[in-house]
Structure 1
């Protein structure tokens, strides 16, 4: 019905909790029945794998040992389970020169499209036109600064 390793982990954890003599602990003679109930709670709608879950269950019980001041319900053990490790495989494929060339071309097209959407006028200008626009803007700024620095005529004040 239930795997032997899981029964051992639950029995060891419940025994550890019982040894702490927490408020609300079951009687010592009820330990076997308590462990059976915890086992039912732990297996309800779940599948366990010894190679990854035995350590997780042990760590969750250790957390309960360190934090509980009252006898915990099985649900608290489930909440304290460390996150299941996710197997990560990263296969890095070497890109061919053709993939690099076409990929870079595609990125250039995407970037150009984004520029057109952001500022349709600027996206259509050449580099020289953009530099000329910058030069004109700087000249206009310099002219405004010159006007601001010149003393005002008395006639303009009146």
Structure 2
């Protein structure tokens, strides 16, 4: 995990509170929700995932929303993780330009000549 994961606990608390508010079948009793949070934290921290404090919180919130939209009974951590969106793609590189520096063109010409002489 990159850096501190305090955000993870905060997002899990929000997500579990949202699920509790839905009053889903098989929800944990209110007096065990702290223990439920501890177990969910343990599970999420144990996953071989690369958490990023810049993008992971919003993606995890989205996963909880996706689960809440479909849930008829209390979900497992695996169900939330299954809804965890893929990371955003890296920024695209600018398209290549055809403006090759002169020294590179000269070196290519030398290499072409060198290899064409070897074939003869």
Q: Given the two structures, how large is their TM-score scaled by the length of structure 2?
A: 0.74
Higher relative contact order structure (alpha carbons within 8 Å, sequence separation ≥ 6): 2
Aligned to 1:62: 65
Structure 2 unaligned regions, length at least 5: 106-120
Question: What is the CA-CA distance between 1:72 and the residue it aligns to?
Answer: 0.4
Task: From the CA coordinates, give the structure whose radius of gyration is larger.
Answer: 1
Aligned to 2:109: none
Are 2:39 and 1:37 aligned? yes
Cα offsets for 1:16-65 (capped at 9, x unmatched): 11111111100001111111111111111223111110000000111111
Question: What is the CA-CA distance between 1:96 and the residue it aligns to?
Answer: 4.1
Taking the aligned partners of 1:46 and 1:82, their CA distance within structure 2 comes to 12
Q: What does 1:2-151 correspond to in 2, within 5 Å?
A: 3-44=5-46, 45-96=48-99
Cα offsets for 1:88-107 (capped at 9, x unmatched): 331323214898xxxxxxxx
Task: Give the count of matched residue pairs.
Answer: 99
Cα offsets for 1:108-144 (capped at 9, x unmatched): xxxxxxxxxxxxxxxxxxxxxxxxxxxxxxxxxxxxx
Taking the aligned partners of 2:55 and 2:99, their CA distance within structure 1 comes to 39
Question: What is the CA-CA distance between 1:77 and the residue it aligns to?
Answer: 0.3
Structure 1 unaligned regions, length at least 5: 100-158
Q: Which protein is richer in helix relative to its size? A: 1
Q: Given the two structures, how large is their TM-score scaled by the length of structure 1?
A: 0.57
